[in-house]
Structure 1
Amino acid sequence: MKIKHVLFTALVCSLFSCARNGAGISTTFEVDAATSSIEWKGSAPDHFHTGAFNVTGSLTANRHGQIKSGTFRIPIASIRNFDLEEPLKEQLLTHLKSADFFNLLVYSEARFRVTEVHPYTPADAGAISGANTLVTGDFTLIGQTHRLSFPAKVAITGDTVRTEATLDLNRLNWGMNSFSDPEQPLYILPEVTIHLDIRAIKANE
């Protein structure tokens, strides 16, 4: 009986020590919407347009400073354009919000939910400089959800997480098929270049 008691005591002490040292404890970081953005570049064979979306959401990191999960929301109404002047700017944004593209009246937001995070050794020539993390998750756009993976540069400094990535998103995979016929007068390339710059701040506990 004494042996069992000693073993039980040792187990309790071990568990208590782990809890005291922070094992299993996670930290939540809330996206700072004021300093975060998702920039886009859409191209035709002879020209392109650029702009950005707002983003909100949160990230969770373990006690070792490794990102483990996250959820992000992208309000479609926040879409902006950088390269045109009025009235062409408003015409483009109105068209992008229409059923030809994001169909804002039906789908008010896009979402990305992180499902896997792994260390990344740079190998993709298109990856952002300093990429150290391979992020995989479920991306929902205009009612369709598909898996998406991309290398990212993730840096945790004090109470702040900054995530940067550059990737090409094939809009056809999510059913955004308008103006995808190269034989038609208006042809828009399937790939949209996305640049993520997301900064998140440790949530108050």
Structure 2
Amino acid sequence: MKSKILSIALAALVVAAAFTFVGKEVKVDTKTSEIAWVGKKVTGQHNGTVAIKGGALEVENGVIKGGEFTIDMTTINVLDLEGEYKGKLEGHLRSDDFFSVEKHPTATFKITSVNESEQKDATHFISGDLTIKGITNKITFPANVTLNGDKVNAKATFALDRTKWNVRYGSGSFFDGLGDKMIYDDFELSVNLSSL
């Protein structure tokens, strides 16, 4: 009797294992993945990059189920300036006027949902929690995601309102009389993410 119960239990475990799929963690390739940014003001704009320090995607049956990424804020780089002006702007962006990099050297993005899109210019909508300067806000943006076996590539371009993360320097929403020194609240991010 005991051996019969043991056999049934073992058979049940084998069947359960056959129908249970454990999601795979796919690591981000930090050498090829990057975030480009554009910040605009009344008199022009600046652009640059910031590096992805690390992260991983959770992939299950060819579908992205989640993931988390760390952004290295100490790598804020200005591409449209050179020399002294480049150094000054990078220093200002890293200061407490903007991203307080000394106090908050990293930012994080944690995916909470990935949904297919019916739009022509995006395959998915990605939602998650973006933490900058210790402040977390939920964001959703369209992205083009391709999966080829264990390889994942995702590209997305979207705008964020910097004031939601207490980055208010030069914001016309908070300060009067800025004139042509006003910096627009929205800044644009272009994310290119590849897996190893």
TM-score (norm 2): 0.88
Partners of 1:101 and 1:59 lie apart in 2 by 29
Q: Which residue of 2 aligns with 1:57?
A: 55
**Following TM superposition, by how much is the alpha carbon of 1:142 offset from its aligned partner in structure 2, in angstroms?**
1.0
1:196 corresponding residue in structure 2: 191
For residue 174 of structure 1, report the CA deviation from its aligned partner: 1.2
Which of 148, 151, 157 is the matching residue for 1:157?
A: 148
What percent identity do the matched residue pairs reach?
Answer: 30
CA distance in 1, matches of 2:64, 2:169: 36
- Does 2:108 align with 1:107? no
Distance between the aligned counterparts of 2:10 and 2:150, measured in 1?
36
Provide structure 1 residue ranges, at least 5 long, that are not aligned to the other structure: 124-128
Alpha-carbon shift at residue 188 of structure 1 (Å): 0.4
Out of 119, 124, 131, the position equivalent to 1:122 is 119
Say which SS state the counterpart of residue 101 (structure 1) adopts.
coil
* TM-aligned CA deviation for residue 11 of structure 1: 4.2
Pick the structure with more strand per residue. Answer: 2
CA distance in 1, matches of 2:102, 2:9: 61
Q: Comparing 153-162 with 89-98, which one deviates more in the overlay?
A: 153-162
Give 1:167's aligned amino acid: F
TM-score scaled by structure 1? 0.85
Moved over 2 A (4+): 4-14
Whole-angstrom CA distance in 2 between matches of 1:94 and 1:25: 45
Secondary structure at the counterpart of residue 170 of structure 2? coil
Number of aligned positions between the proteins: 188
Decide which of 24, 29, 33 is 1:27's aligned counterpart: 24
Partner of 1:15: 16
The alignment yields a C-alpha RMSD, in angstroms, of: 2.0
From 134, 138, 144, give the equivalent of 1:147.
138
Say which SS state the counterpart of residue 51 (structure 1) adopts. strand
Letter in 1 for 2:18: S
Matches of 1:166 and 1:37 in 2, distance apart?
12
